[in-house]
Structure formats: structure tokens, C-alpha cells
Amino acid sequence: MNLKKIKMSFLLMLFLLIAMLCGGVSLLRGNYYLKNKYLLMQLRFLALEGQIMENNPGEMGKIFLSYSQAAGVPLNNKNAQIVPVLLYHGVMSDPNWKPDGVNISLSDFEDQMLALKAAGYQSVSLSDFNDFMKGERVLPEKSVLITFDDGRSDSYYNADPVLRAAGFRAVMFTITGRSLGPDNAKETFHLNEDELQKMLESGRWEIESHTQNGHGNIKTDAAGDQGYFLTNKMWLDSENRLETDTEFETRIDNDLAGSKEDLENKLGVKVLGFAYPFGDFGQENSNYLQGKDILTKEVDSLFPLSFRQSENSEYPGDYPGNGYHLIKRLDIQSPTDINKFISLVGSTREKSIPYSDNFLRDQGWLDAWGSSKLSQGLLLTGATQDEDSSLTFLNGTALWKDYKMNAILRLMKGSSFAIVVRYNNENNYASCDFSDSHISLTQRIAGQESVVSESDNNFPINSQEDMNVSIEVRGGSAACFLNGNEITSGDISSNLNHGGIGFKTWNNKVFNSSLLVKKIDVE
Amino acid sequence: MDSNYIKSAGTLENPELIRGRDISYAKKLSWSDIFNRLMIIFLGVAILLFIIIMKSKTTVDFSSGPVLYLYAIFVTTFELSRIASAMLYEKSYKSIFFDANRQALDGEYEPMVTFVIPCKNEEKAIARTVYQCYQSQYPKEKLEIIVINDGSTDHTLDILQKLTRTVPSLKVINFIHNKGKRNGMAEGFKMASGEIVVQLDSDSYIDPYTFRNIIAPFQNKEIAAVCAHADPQNADKNFITKMQAAYYFMSFRVLKAAESTFMSVFCCSGCSSAYRKSMVMPIIGQWLNEKFLGLPVTWGDDRALTSWLLKEGHKTIYTDQVQAYTIVPEKFKQLLKQQLRWKKSWIINSIFTSKFIWKKQPFVAFLYYFPLVIVSFLTPIMTFRALFYLPVIKSVAPFYHIFGVMLITALLAVCCRIFSKKESHWPYLFLWSLFNLFILSFVMFWAVIKIQDRGWGTR
């Protein structure tokens, strides 16, 4: 071989090297399987799987198991009546991260998922949930729907190994303008198109809509104040005015329909769900109150299901017949108490009648407002320092229809209390009110309170001794009892045909009402 | 390799003497050999893939950082091109033994050979060195040994004078005052009666059974200098010497071989190289009087001599068929001083060489030498950036940079294993690589700063 041939060979090798390097670099850059995040995900999954396979679900799972095995909610309902929906945002793996009121730490998330797994929970897909809500599908009693908002990278990369190890699946609501927009390949905070595809391929994720570019603020007046995109009229600088009704509607329609198209065209998915950014469907402050109707109408027409965040005063779960829209989700973030979490999810399960509670164990007493505490077989509920009233209700009783509740209680502080039935939320319930020596049957419909009937005689409240009170609802009638005697009764609205039990206290003065409940029986 | 080619390897009866050289080309490859070879090649390809993957993770997008992108591609291509060139070495070496008409050269070439050995204060080693030369498997009447006593203050001169009685072909040149290696070599060349001059250090020697191979290439009329393959004699002394043993093997069998592919080795090591006297004499004066920035160039004599030969348009090669041994520093401080000298001499020489190399050898100049110079000057700066600037200012850990360097080292180690199964110090190549990355890069800065300091430190 002479020198010329050698030189040619060398040139060829050089050319090949450069081609390999440049080609390899541009082909593999941003490759999903080479990302550190991806490799870390695989490692975490293997570690967790090892942990689970050793039947070591962690301390919390064991506690939950003991809960459901002990005297508690009898598992006589084989299918789910109510399914809790969980909402997470970012999952943070940095051990130095401080809670920010939005995101959850990876260790808290792991604890929660492994506890659910150990307690026998199964996660459901959105389409199964949709069928369940339509009454077309039966779900196991211990079902839960897990959702994430915003389409963040840290949600997926940190949560997926946990979900995978636990055998769970989840729904990711993405802001399609950021995740599927023209520059999405450069996205690092939000997931990009390639990553969403990989998520779909894994079979563990469904990708749904969280608007196209509607997850943010717009200018709402000349002064530059800001408000949420979907529920305010935008201030148009160029025209020096607010949008017209039509312009608002067009803007909303374009964004929502655009997000649906993005998902259908770029990911090939059939879009089932929409999650309202910030949980705002118009109930927050807005410069355009009618916008709420336009928005919800548009969402209802485009998406089979829509989701918001639940209020403290609402049951954290949904059931067929309650509508497909504005489904309530439990917003979960750090700091979080794993016991409270397990109690919340577990107590969401529908309770059956007859039911009795001696308060030795918390079966799901939620505070709409005020605060309640269980201790030594007693429920103590009352107003907090800033408030003058309280309302606590029992989770898992949303579907109760006709029943009679007897309660043995004592008013410790203050002057008024009520026993609540047919509770749906803070604006819809009926109650027997004990106040100013009167016993009255009242109902609250869509926030409007009215007295149905009132006792003729005086029945002063004695805070030195226990009272035996009852309330009965059957069909459209309700009656109040004291010491077994019916005191007053009347008809309540047919709009209030189902709901659960609770207790309420109030007073003129702040921090001055508290009720001690010793036992209740429902039959 | 055909048998004509290995005829000049002396006898094959003493392969154990040939440490680290795998000269059994004539042996047919067994299945396990083939399997091993394939595994190693597979490993090499895997490492190359890893390098590409790493580059894809660390290299910025061209549009956002064109300079850094081009630099990364440039440096990696350059480093990998050395391996590519080294793979072509054997073909190139074979071609020396054929003339322009593709006829094999005679093979009966036995010219007069002179050993030139400058030394100072080597009373312990010089006798052995002289005897080793005398043992060379070559007709004794065609061997001549010239030792230059360069102002020794010990008994070197006495020993030499005694030796002249037992070794008739030994001649001694005596400098009463130390004149420096360059002057010693020059005198040796002038006085040499041989057609080929073999230059040795006072503590180095050539394995007698491979000696012939250093003479054989001179049959080709264009060859001006041949560099032997040198390994440290004291390789197993401590981890410092083992590290150097690994580096020497790689530096010769990969880097120098890569240069030899195009027959322009830029430095024929002064510890064991052979020169054609007729090509050296015309330039010997200019070489002696070389100056840089007003001061004489006190080291890098071998590098400078090779450069002058290249300037005349001659060819210089490396041969892995000649095994030489030398002594390397055993202490860390000694090693650092040596490396500092070598870097200084390289800087001075690169300026000199750059001026003519593009005219004489454009192919080598633009595809190797200029890139080499650029990489050599840029690497310390980029190392500083990766090890100090980025971690301190941008909180970017140098993990990827170090890992990338180790990958290239791994590839070089794989090459060394392919070239010789017997070379056992290759794991220490990683140690050398770390040494090079964390210490020698910054010695380069120091070399530039201290370039006018022409002392030796201590040898």
C-alpha cells in the first residue's frame, strides 16, 4: 500500500469520524432514553419494586391495614359508590425543598402511594371513571383516581416510578400551548411532545386538557391589574377597552377547542377530561360574572368530564348522578399527615345504614369550617379563634337518603348548635337548630336559609348535662326530637333529597362555641 | 506479515527477552485469539458509542453555542483521528520496504553503524551501556561506539578509558567543561565513521535481538531518521513509573505510530533513535546554533534535530520492531521537572516547525500538526474552564468532562491491548490521564510563563 492510498484511507476515516460525531450528537441530543431523568426513573422504580416485593409496604400501609380490619367501615358494599379523586402538582425530589403550598415532596408522595397500595386500593383510568359516572361500569370498592395538573416534568419523572412500582396509573392535565407548542422540544419545566408520547406508550398515563394557553393571568383593566385568563374579560390595550362578550367567548372557545385539537392531532388521543386552572370556574373574583356560565357551558360541550378542586365543605369524591362536570378533587401538597391522608381517602367510601359512632376512631369527620377533634371517645367541635361558628360533617355519607340520627351531646360553650342531615355542601343541607330556647327545623338551599317549622314551647339548653337529640328525614319530610319526643316537623325541599350528617355550632362572639358529641346512632 | 519482513528480527529463539513486544506475527491465530480480538474490538466500538452519547448530552446546540460546539467536535475528532492513523501504521511501515516500482528492497543492507552516547557523571551505568551496544546482533566489525564525556566530575572518564582496552571499537570524546548534550551529539556525529548513527542516552539501550530492525528501514533512500520503541526499564519500581510505562507505550505505539503513518514523526526520541549521517551533516550547524527569543535552546535536542531533518524534506519514521529501554523518573518532583522541560521544548519547537511544515508536508500540516498545536494550547484553557470556572461560577460539576476524558483514555487502553497483549501496565493509563488532566494541563501554563528560564532544574 503506498502513501497515497494511506492518505486516502485516513481522509475517509476522518470523514466518517466527523459524520459519526455530528450525526450522533444531533440525533441523540434530547433523546428520551438517554436523559438522566429517565435513567434515574428506572433506578428508582427498581428500588421501589424491590421494596414492595419484599412485602414491605412501609409503616403507613400497615397502619391503614389495621384500620380497615378493625371495627370500622364494614366492607359489605362490593362496588364503589363514591370514588375519591386526588390532585397533585409537582413532585419534588430535592431533599432541601421547602413546602410551597402547591407541590408535594417525593417522600410524602411515595408514602401515600405505597400506603394506598398496601391497603388494597386500585387506581382507575379516566375512561373507566367516565363509564362509572355514566352508570355503565362497576368499580372495586377501593378505587381512586389519581390526577396531576400542569404537565410538569417533575410530576412525571418523580411520580412515575412510584406509580409503576405500585401498579397504579394516573391522568396528566397538560397546558398544550407549552407542552405541544412549536418550541416544545426545548421545554424542560413542562413535558414536551416526545415525553408525552412516551408516557402514553407506557400505558400508565392518560393525557388530558388543562387549556392551551389559558393557565395564567391577563390584564383586566387599564391600571394593569391581573386576573385569570378563563374567567375575566381581557383589557385590550390597543383598543383601550375591555373585551366584548363575543370577544370573550371567542377567546375562551379558541383556547379550549385549541387544546383539545392539540391533544387529538399531535398525540392521537381521544380527549375525555378538562381540569380548570387554579380550580377557578368563575367562583373566584372576576370582572365578568356572566363569564362563568359561558365558560362552563363551553367546557361541558367540549369535554365529557371536567374537574375542579374541592372545598373543605364538600365531600371529596364523586358519584354517578352527581353530574359529569366540576367533579371535585382533593388537592394534596406537602406538608401532609399520612394518617389524615389515609383517613380521608378511606373514609370517602360510602358508609351504610345502620351506622353508629362512638368516636373511638375517626371515621371521617371533616371540618367545613371551624375545627373538630376526637379524643377519648368524644367528638369536640367548635369555632376557631377567628370564627364564630363551625360545621363538621361525616365523610362517606353523601348518598344517604332516609334515616334517623340520634345523638347524645352537650353544648360546652356558646348558645347555639344544630344537628345536620341531608348535607351536600355548606349551601345545601337541612338541620334541627337548637338556639334561644327554641328548636327549629331549617333548611339551606343554594345558600338561602329558611325555617321550615319551629317549636311552640321553650327548650332551654342546659350546658351542665347531656342532651339526647334526634333528627329524622324520610322522603320530603323531616322531624326534630328531644329526649325521644318529636318537637317539630315539616316538609323540606325535594332538591335536598340526599345527603349525610353533621354538627354545627354558632355564636355572636368569636371563638365561643363548642359542642361535645358522645355517641350517635343512625338507623 | 510475510516472512521476508521478519527475517531481519534476528532470531526468534529468545522471545522472552523482548518484554512487552508481541513479535509472534508468524504464529497462526487460534480461535480463542480471534474471539479475544473480537471482544476487544467490540469493547472499542462500545466505548466509541459511549463517547458519542456523552457528547450528545454535553455538547451545546450549534445554534446556541457554535464556538463550543465546533471546539467539542474538533477536539474529539482530532483525538479519535490519532487512533485511526495508528491503525494505518503497519501498512505504512510495510510500504517502506518496497521501492517505487513495488519491488521488495534487497534486505541485505549492512552499513557501518556508529553509536553516539553523550554522558555526564554516569560512572555506574556507562560500562553496562557500552557493553549492551557491543552485544547487538550485528557484525562487530561494522559497529563503532563513541562516548562523549561531557564534563563529568566523577570517575566516568577513568571507566571509559579502561573500557577502550576491552572494547576496541570504543572511542571517547572528552569535554573538560560541560558543553551540553547538543554539543556532545554534534561532535559524535562529526567523528562518526558510520553511515548510520544510533543515538542513545547514557542510561538507555536497545535490545540486541531487535537491533537490526532499526537499520533496515534506511534501505529506503528517503528515510532520514528511525525512532525505536522505548519502554521504561524501571517500570515496576512504583506507581509513578508504572504510570509512565503505560503512557510511554501508548505515546509510542499510538501517537508516534500515528505520525509515522505519514512518515513525519516530529520527535525521534533521543534515548534510542538512528539517523542517516549524510542527511544530518548539512544541517548540524544550524541545529547547534538554534536560538529562541534571544537565548539558546538548551533542551529538546532530539526534537529540534528531527525538525531540521523534516525541514529538509526528509522522512522520519517510528518502528515498533525495535525494543529500547530507558530510565524514567522515580520521584514525583523529578517527573514534574522533566515534564516542564518537555513542554517548554515543545512550545519552542512548535513555533519553529509551524513555519515550514505547511510548505513541506501540507497534508500532515493541516490534518495533524496545526490541529495538534491548537488542541495543545486550547486544552489547558478548556481544562481550567471545566475544573474551575464552571464549578465555581456556574455550579456545574466537572463530572462529564472527567468522564469524557476517561472514555478517551479507555479507548486508548483498548488500542494498546489490541496492539500488544503482553503490555500489562495499561490500567495505569487512567492514572496518567488523571495526572495529565489535573496537573500537567497547568504545567503548560507554567511552561509558557517560564519559557525564558533555560535551566535544567535537577535531572
H-assigned helices in A54-175: 58-69, 106-118, 126-133, 153-166
Question: Does residue A99 sit in the same domain as residue A234?
Answer: yes
Question: Does residue A39 sit in the same domain as residue A131?
Answer: yes
The CA-atom distances, in angstroms, between B270 and each of A510, B80, B274, B300 are 98, 27, 9, 9
Each residue of A95-135: pLDDT tens digit?
999 999 999 999 999 989 988 888 888 999 999 999 999 98
Question: Does residue B211 sit in the same domain as residue B309?
Answer: yes
Q: Do A3 and B263 touch (CB under 8 A)?
A: yes
Question: Does residue A86 sit in the same domain as residue A112?
Answer: yes
Between CA A504 and CA A6 the distance in angstroms is: 94
Is it the case that residue B268 has pLDDT exceeding 90?
yes
Amino acid making up residue A447: G
The count of domains in chain B is 2
A71 or B360, greater pLDDT? B360
The reply to whether B170 falls in a domain is yes
Give mean pLDDT, residues A430-449: 91
Q: Compute the mean pLDDT over every residue in chain A, rounded to the nearest whole number.
A: 89
The DSSP call for residue A234 is P
Of the candidates A295, A318, A341, which is a domain's last residue? Answer: A341
Which residues does chain B have within 8 Å of residue A2's beta carbon, measured at their own beta carbons? 95
Question: Does residue A337 sit in the same domain as residue A389?
Answer: no
The reply to whether B68 falls in a domain is yes
Q: Do B52 and A25 touch (CB under 8 A)?
A: yes
Each residue of B321-378: pLDDT tens digit?
999 999 999 999 999 999 999 999 999 999 999 999 999 999 999 999 999 999 999 9
Residue of A nearest to B70 (CA): A22
Q: Is the peptide bond before A74 cis (omega within 30 degrees of 0)?
A: no
Q: Is the peptide bond before A354 cis (omega within 30 degrees of 0)?
A: yes
Is it the case that residue A66 has pLDDT exceeding 60?
no
Question: Does residue A61 sit in the same domain as residue A195?
Answer: yes
Q: Do A7 and B262 touch (CB under 8 A)?
A: yes
Of A2, A11, A17, the CB nearest to B77: A17
CB count, 10 Å around CB of A115?
A: 26
Residue of B nearest to A1 (CA): B95
Give mean pLDDT, residues A438-464: 88
The reply to whether A259 falls in a domain is yes
Between CA B396 and CA B57 the distance in angstroms is: 14
% chain B with pLDDT above 70: 93
Residue of A nearest to B86 (CA): A10
The reply to whether A513 falls in a domain is yes
Cell reading at B175: 569535554
Residue of A nearest to B364 (CA): A7
The reply to whether A159 falls in a domain is yes
The reply to whether A11 falls in a domain is no
Contact A173/A208 with Cβ under 8 angstroms?
yes
Question: Does residue A267 sit in the same domain as residue A361?
Answer: no
Each residue of A378-437: pLDDT tens digit?
999 998 888 889 999 999 999 999 999 999 999 988 889 999 999 999 999 999 999 878
Is it the case that residue A262 has pLDDT exceeding 60?
yes
HSE of B153, CA atoms in CB hemisphere, 13 A = 1
Of the candidates B361, B392, B413, which is a domain's last residue? Answer: B361
Mutate which of B49, B54, B56 to test chain A, going by most A C-beta atoms within 10 A? B56
Between CA A209 and CA A14 the distance in angstroms is: 50
3-class secondary-structure state, position A241: strand
Cell reading at A191: 413535558
Question: Does residue A299 sit in the same domain as residue A370?
Answer: no
Q: So what's the pLDDT on residue A194?
A: 93
Question: Does residue B83 sit in the same domain as residue B115?
Answer: no
Is it the case that residue A20 has pLDDT exceeding 50?
yes
3-class secondary-structure state, position B33: helix
Is it the case that residue B430 has pLDDT exceeding 50?
yes
Which residues does chain B have within 8 Å of residue A27's beta carbon, measured at their own beta carbons? 56
Give mean pLDDT, residues B256-277: 95
The reply to whether A21 falls in a domain is no
**Which ipTM was obtained for this model?**
0.85
Angle A34-A36-A40 (CA atoms, 0-180°, nearest 5)?
Answer: 115
Is it the case that residue A70 has pLDDT exceeding 80?
no
Is it the case that residue B405 has pLDDT exceeding 60?
yes
The reply to whether B6 falls in a domain is no
Question: Does residue A337 sit in the same domain as residue A416?
Answer: no
Q: So what's the pLDDT on residue B13?
A: 41
CATH assignment at residue A50: 3.20.20.370
Nearest to A350 by CA among A137, A502, A500, A145: A500
Q: So what's the pLDDT on residue A338?
A: 84
pLDDT class for B296, splitting at 50, 70, 90? confident
Is it the case that residue A157 has pLDDT exceeding 90?
yes
B17 phi/psi in degrees, rounded to 5: -70, -20
Question: Does residue A332 sit in the same domain as residue A364?
Answer: no
The reply to whether A369 falls in a domain is yes
CA B132 distance to own-chain centroid: 21
Question: Does residue A435 sit in the same domain as residue A321?
Answer: no
B8 or A11, greater pLDDT? A11
Between CA A42 and CA A31 the distance in angstroms is: 15
Q: Compute the mean pLDDT over every residue in chain B, rounded to the nearest whole number.
A: 88
Contact B279/B312 with Cβ under 8 angstroms?
yes
Of the candidates A341, A373, A407, which is a domain's last residue? Answer: A341
Between CA A511 and CA A414 the distance in angstroms is: 9
The count of domains in chain A is 2
CATH assignment at residue B235: 3.90.550.10
Question: Does residue B284 sit in the same domain as residue B412?
Answer: no
Is it the case that residue A298 has pLDDT exceeding 70?
yes
Domain of residue A285, residue span: 32-341
The reply to whether B4 falls in a domain is no
Between CA A146 and CA B248 the distance in angstroms is: 62
Between CA B170 and CA B264 the distance in angstroms is: 32
Q: B6: distance to nearest CA of chain A, Å?
A: 18
Between CA B403 and CA B381 the distance in angstroms is: 18
Q: B91: distance to nearest CA of chain A, Å?
A: 6
Of B76, B85, B87, the CB nearest to A21: B76
Is it the case that residue A455 has pLDDT exceeding 70?
yes
pLDDT class for A299, splitting at 50, 70, 90? very high
DSSP assignment string, A308-373 = EEPPTTS-SSB-TTS-SSSEEEEE--SS--HHHHHHHHHHTSPP-SSEEE-SSS---EEEEESEEE
Beta-strand runs (E) in B124-222: 143-150, 170-175, 196-200, 205-206
Question: Does residue B34 sit in the same domain as residue B100?
Answer: no
Nearest to A404 by CA among A456, A493, A494, A474: A474
Domain of residue B178, residue span: 90-361
Question: Does residue B311 sit in the same domain as residue B247?
Answer: yes
Cell reading at B298: 538548551
Question: Does residue B111 sit in the same domain as residue B123?
Answer: yes
Question: Does residue A181 sit in the same domain as residue A85?
Answer: yes
Question: Does residue B221 sit in the same domain as residue B237?
Answer: yes
Contact B117/B203 with Cβ under 8 angstroms?
no
Question: Does residue B190 sit in the same domain as residue B301?
Answer: yes
Question: Does residue B375 sit in the same domain as residue B316?
Answer: no
Element (H, E) at B392: helix B390-393
Is it the case that residue A59 has pLDDT exceeding 70?
no
Contact B163/B155 with Cβ under 8 angstroms?
no
Nearest to B418 by CA among B325, B323, B320: B320
Q: So what's the pLDDT on residue B26?
A: 47
Q: So what's the pLDDT on residue A463?
A: 80
Between CA B22 and CA B30 the distance in angstroms is: 15
Q: Is the dihedral of CA B103, B104, B109, B115 positive or negative?
A: positive
Any B CB within 8 A of A75 CB: no
Q: A179: distance to nearest CA of chain B, Å?
A: 20
Pairing of the two strands B291-292 and A438-445: unpaired
Question: Does residue B103 sit in the same domain as residue B132?
Answer: yes
Q: B70: distance to nearest CA of chain A, Å?
A: 10
Residue of B nearest to A2 (CA): B95
Q: Do A10 and B88 touch (CB under 8 A)?
A: yes
The reply to whether A1 falls in a domain is no
- Which residues does residue A369 pair with via DSSP β-bridges, in sequence order? A391
Question: Does residue A458 sit in the same domain as residue A326?
Answer: no
Q: Do A24 and B55 touch (CB under 8 A)?
A: yes
The reply to whether B455 falls in a domain is no
Q: Do B56 and A29 touch (CB under 8 A)?
A: yes
The reply to whether A68 falls in a domain is yes
Of A7, A34, A36, the CB nearest to B56: A34
Between CA A163 and CA B219 the distance in angstroms is: 75
Q: Which one of A63-77, A456-470, B346-360 scores highest in mean pLDDT?
A: B346-360
Q: So what's the pLDDT on residue A55?
A: 60
Between CA B222 and CA B8 the distance in angstroms is: 20
CB count, 10 Å around CB of A496?
A: 20
A123 or B107, greater pLDDT? A123
Is it the case that residue B456 has pLDDT exceeding 80?
no
Q: What share of chain A is helix, strand, coil (3-state, %, to 5)?
A: 30, 30, 40
Nearest to A275 by CA among A170, A132, A429: A170
Of the candidates A341, A364, A392, which is a domain's last residue? Answer: A341
CATH assignment at residue A485: 2.60.120.560
Contact A224/A291 with Cβ under 8 angstroms?
no
Of A11, A22, A31, the CB nearest to B73: A22
Q: Do A14 and B363 touch (CB under 8 A)?
A: no
Residues in chain A: 523
Is it the case that residue B5 has pLDDT exceeding 60?
no
Is it the case that residue A7 has pLDDT exceeding 70?
yes
Between CA B156 and CA B146 the distance in angstroms is: 14
Question: Does residue B331 sit in the same domain as residue B408?
Answer: no
Of the candidates B361, B388, B417, which is a domain's last residue? Answer: B361
Q: Is the dihedral of CA A443, A449, A452, A457 positive or negative?
A: positive
Is it the case that residue A357 has pLDDT exceeding 60?
yes
pTM of the model: 0.79
Work out the angle between the directed axes of helices B428-435 and B239-250 (0-180°, nearest 10). Answer: 90
Is it the case that residue A483 has pLDDT exceeding 80?
yes
Give all strands of the β-sheet with A500-506 in edge-to-edge order: A365-369, A389-394, A500-506, A416-425, A428-435, A438-445, A448-454
Of the candidates B361, B378, B395, which is a domain's last residue? Answer: B361
CB count, 10 Å around CB of A347?
A: 23
Contact B342/B294 with Cβ under 8 angstroms?
no
Amino acid making up residue A438: H
Work out the angle between the directed axes of helices B89-96 and B66-87 (0-180°, nearest 10). Answer: 50
Cell reading at A451: 325555617
